[in-house]
């Protein structure tokens, strides 16, 4: 995206360099454009451009992600409040997924882990009772492994002497 004082002027600039305007965003005085790197370099020299946001596309295809065999994903955002965090996890398969490990780090000002749960299942506190502040690494196996069906919230509650609860 290229932004300036006039989307019309930016469109003319893009076309003069041999590029193609894909979107006219006149409300914000911007255009979306398809440009080669050489064309973009020339366009960015213009004083008409006040802001540029690249799409990071490259001419070479991206590396394929490594197959992990894991079809569990997490939400893009993490809900945080004074006492803890909540992160929504998704099992992309119809079959239940057993959690094998959990590794977290956090600012030490949040304190120690008070409680960990996945959906309605509380993780055995003995697994993290003596965990150092700021870091948690848990390994699960067999019947101790929490199970994720569909969607569930991973919740971690903290206890900090410096934060009122």
Number of domains in the chain: 2
Residue 165, domain member (yes or no): no
Residue 145, domain member (yes or no): yes
Q: Is pLDDT above 70 for 148? A: yes
Q: List the domain range (segments joined by +) for residue 8.
A: 2-52
Q: What pLDDT, on a 0 to 100 scale, did the predictor assign at position 63?
A: 56
Q: Residue 159 burial (CB < 10 Å; 0-12/13-18/19+)?
A: middle
Tokens of 83: 């006492």
- Same domain as 144, residue 87: yes
Residue 67, domain member (yes or no): no
Better pLDDT: 140 or 64: 140
pTM of the predicted structure, to 2 decimals: 0.56
Please say whether the beta carbons of 110 and 119 come within 8 A. no
pLDDT, tens only, 24-68: 888 899 999 988 889 999 999 999 999 998 875 545 555 555 555
Residue 105, domain member (yes or no): yes
- Same domain as 144, residue 93: yes
Q: Which residues touch 144 (CB under 8 Å, ≥6 apart)? A: 124, 127
Helix (H) or strand (E) holding 38: helix 37-43
Please say whether the beta carbons of 89 and 109 come within 8 A. no
């Amino acid at each position: 995206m290229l932004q300036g004082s006039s989307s019309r002027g930016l469109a003319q600039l893009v076309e003069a360099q041999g590029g193609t305007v894909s979107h006219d965003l006149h409300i914000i005085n911007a255009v979306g454009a398809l440009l080669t790197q050489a064309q973009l370099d020339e366009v960015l020299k213009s004083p008409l451009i006040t802001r540029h946001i690249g799409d990071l596309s490259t001419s070479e295809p991206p590396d394929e992600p490594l197959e992990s065999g894991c079809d569990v994903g997490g939400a893009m955002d993490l809900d945080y409040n004074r006492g803890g965090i909540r992160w929504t996890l998704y099992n992309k398969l119809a079959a239940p997924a057993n959690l094998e490990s959990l590794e977290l780090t956090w600012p030490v000002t949040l304190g120690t882990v008070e409680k960990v749960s996945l959906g309605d299942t509380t993780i055995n506190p003995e697994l993290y009772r003596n965990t150092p502040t700021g870091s948690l690494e848990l390994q699960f196996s067999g019947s101790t492994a929490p199970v994720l069906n569909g969607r569930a919230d991973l919740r971690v509650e903290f206890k900090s002497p410096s934060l009122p609860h």
